[in-house]
């Protein structure tokens, strides 16, 4: 059985999935797992595609002290226990900069180009590149593919792409990129399967999770996004502030004496829901916490989603459908209901029972806008891109 391994590495965790390539070219999820708590209390856990527990182990921090060590643990288990030797590895890479508008086979020159974008995504990019280097060192002949969160948005027109700054800065790469593109690309494809009547229309997709953004789709293509040059813009997130006057950064540097590194740490680690509430970056905890600051953080999040829905509707000239996805969007009926109230002026009306049951279509019959809940699957999107870049035909054992 030929398989593709999908890897998504962070600062303290490595998530992976294994997809089998079926005879008809479809991909079947076989395993999903992760190693988290790297460097502290590492734990390795994996389940089958059906959710059956396959392995659960803990390690000393001296055994799994970094991402390469975590990769070795997961890789050894896949080879030795599951007899899986993937024919290729697909990676999520957050920032592709102006160079990469589609997935690409990885070599040393590609890695070098992607390293240039570390300052644009310091919370993600260096950790995305770590497993790539590690696998390249151990298995230099194993094909690897980089799949970018920015690529889906690279067909934006110049009015959506530019900042109002001198052109030479745009030429150097200072522009609005947008992120969560793998999620939006998957949702666009699923709409064609689940709601073909709306798939070619004007659709707002709200990817609401610890990282949050929204995207305007027209004819299944991204035309506008709430995120821009980095993953700091737009909606408030778990620990990131979202839209922020650049003057705030100047103030922190000039008046508060903060270093660029300190400002970066503040904006990526201590703002957003965490900063507003002073309690947590987890929406689940904030929704149930009686502290007024928790309620304020939730109110602020919903308010901003409503504001950006208006902006994206303006970019589209109206909307035909609205899609909730990602952790909060898929799982919080309360947030969905409150956001729907904010976009009632656009014609959205929810069916309360359908919303509570998290059905596919949660809008009521009288709603002028179809409202959906569609789980995202960035890993499957990565596996598809990886398969597409392999020499054809791929043999299936």
213: nearest Cα among 249, 170, 243, 188: 243
CA neighbours closer than 13 Å in the CB half-sphere of residue 217: 29
Determine phi and psi for 48, rounding to 5 degrees.
Answer: -75, 175
Q: Are strands 321-325 and 221-225 parallel, antiparallel or unpaired?
A: unpaired
- CA 45 to chain centroid, in Å, comes to 21
Q: How many residues does the chain have?
A: 397
- Beta-strand ranges (E) seen in the chain are 3-9, 13-21, 27-36, 43-48, 53-58, 88-93, 104-105, 144-148, 202-207, 213-218, 221-225, 321-325, 370-373
| 255, two tokens | 């008046």
Q: Is 73 left (phi over 0), alpha (psi -120 to 50) or beta?
A: alpha
Q: 134 with 10: CB under 8 angstroms?
A: no
| 100, two tokens | 């990469």
Q: State the Cα–Cα distance between residues 119 and 102, nearest whole angstrom.
A: 21
What does the DSSP assignment read for 215-232? EEEETTEEEEES--SSTT
Q: Is 76 a catalytic residue?
A: no
Q: 369 with 346: CB under 8 angstroms?
A: yes
Determine phi and psi for 52, rounding to 5 degrees.
Answer: -75, 130
Q: State the Cα–Cα distance between residues 292 and 298, nearest whole angstrom.
A: 10
From 62, 66, 149, 291, the catalytic residue: 149
Q: State the Cα–Cα distance between residues 246 and 377, nearest whole angstrom.
A: 34
Mapped onto helix, strand or coil, the DSSP state of residue 214 is strand
- DSSP 3-state percent helix, strand, coil across the chain (nearest 5): 40, 20, 40
Determine phi and psi for 58, rounding to 5 degrees.
Answer: -115, 155
Supply the residues annotated as catalytic.
149
């Amino acid at each position: 059985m030929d398989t593709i391994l999908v890897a998504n590495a962070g600062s303290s965790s490595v998530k992976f999935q294994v997809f089998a390539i079926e005879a008809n070219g479809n991909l079947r999820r076989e395993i999903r797992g992760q190693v988290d708590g790297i460097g502290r209390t590492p734990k390795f856990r994996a389940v089958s595609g059906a959710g059956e527990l396959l392995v659960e182990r803990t390690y000393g921090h001296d055994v799994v002290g970094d991402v390469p060590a975590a990769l070795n643990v997961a890789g050894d288990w896949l080879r030795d226990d599951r007899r899986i030797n993937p024919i290729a590895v697909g990676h999520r890479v957050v920032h592709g900069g102006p160079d990469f508008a589609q997935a690409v086979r990885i070599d040393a020159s590609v890695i070098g180009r992607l390293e240039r974008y570390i300052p644009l995504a310091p919370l993600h990019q260096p950790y995305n590149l770590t497993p790539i280097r590690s696998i390249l060192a151990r298995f230099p002949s194993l094909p690897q593919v980089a799949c970018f969160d920015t690529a889906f948005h690279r067909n934006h027109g110049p009015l959506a792409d530019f900042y109002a700054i001198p052109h030479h800065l745009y030429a150097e790469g200072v522009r609005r990129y947008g992120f969560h593109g793998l999620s939006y690309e998957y949702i666009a494809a699923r709409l064609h399967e689940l709601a073909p009547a709306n798939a070619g229309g004007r659709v707002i997709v709200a990817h609401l999770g610890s990282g949050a953004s929204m995207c305007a789709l027209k004819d299944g293509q991204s035309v506008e996004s709430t995120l821009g040059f980095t993953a700091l813009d737009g909606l408030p997130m778990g620990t990131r502030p979202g839209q922020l006057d650049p003057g705030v950064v100047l103030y922190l540097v000039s008046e508060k004496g903060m270093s660029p590194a300190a400002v970066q740490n503040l904006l990526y680690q201590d703002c957003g829901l965490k900063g507003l509430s002073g309690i947590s970056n987890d929406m689940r905890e904030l929704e149930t916490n009686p502290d007024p600051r928790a309620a304020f953080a939730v109110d602020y999040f919903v308010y901003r989603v409503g504001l950006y829905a208006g902006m994206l509707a303006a970019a589209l000239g109206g909307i035909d459908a609205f899609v909730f996805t990602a952790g909060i969007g898929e799982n919080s009926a309360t947030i969905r209901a409150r956001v729907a109230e904010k976009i009632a002026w656009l014609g959205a009306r929810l069916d309360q029972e359908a919303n509570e049951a998290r059905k596919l279509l949660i809008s009521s019959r009288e709603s002028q806008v179809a409202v959906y809940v569609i789980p995202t699957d960035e890993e499957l999107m990565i596996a598809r891109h990886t398969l597409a870049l392999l020499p054809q035909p791929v043999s299936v054992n």
